[in-house]
Amino acid sequence: MASKITDELEIKGTGTSVFEFWRWAYSDLLSNTNRGILAEFLVGDALGLTNEPRIEWDKADFEYHGNFIEVKSAAYIQAWKQKQLSKIIFNIPKAKSWDYLTGEMSADSKRNSDCYVFCVYTDQNKADYDILDIHRWEFYVLSTAFLNEHFPEQKSISLSTLQKSCRAINYNDLKAEIDYLLGIDG
């Protein structure tokens, strides 16, 4: 696994740095890709799992005390021009998984985590949004066993269904909720 690099690291032969690349490539945190990575970072930060670089393709977003965690993100407002707010829907399909360490694809399709963290960026006014304000996010934590029992073949789940199945929690309670759900004594 690669180690974290510093923002001062020069892109050799260019006179510019990795920081300038990051600023150019990832400044639009409202875009779907960047918002999803930010949501993963927030969950990882809450769990103390951001010391190592993010792995792009693996069977789950995090391994935490031997449990696998999948992070999903959605928002009402998007980076592009919208005629209406987006509906909050998360993908939860069964899938084959790629193992980063072994380089092998699983033979069977299943939900490959032990729990899901659904992250909702709640701002609905694009003129006054602040995606870096943690108070504007809600988090919903569900076990994969619950999803498999109640929604065994569903490929997606709506926010309204999530709200019937679990409560919204804030960032400061995220670790405790995940620990409780996974039976981790902390």
- Tens of pLDDT along the chain (186 residues) come to 467 777 788 888 888 888 898 889 899 999 999 999 999 999 999 999 998 878 787 778 899 999 999 999 999 999 999 999 999 999 998 887 777 777 777 778 888 899 999 999 999 999 999 999 999 999 999 999 999 999 999 999 999 999 999 999 999 999 999 999 999 986
pTM of the complete model: 0.91
109 in a domain, yes or no? yes
Cα–Cα dist 15/21, whole Å: 12
Helix, strand counts (H, E) of the chain:
5, 10
In a domain? residue 114: yes
Assigned domain for 1 exists: no
> What is the C-alpha separation between 137 and 76, in angstroms, rounded?
11
Domains in the chain, number: 1
Answer yes or no: is 112 within a domain: yes
Q: Are 41 and 51 in contact (CB under 8 A)?
A: no
Which domain covers residue 122, as residue numbers?
29-182
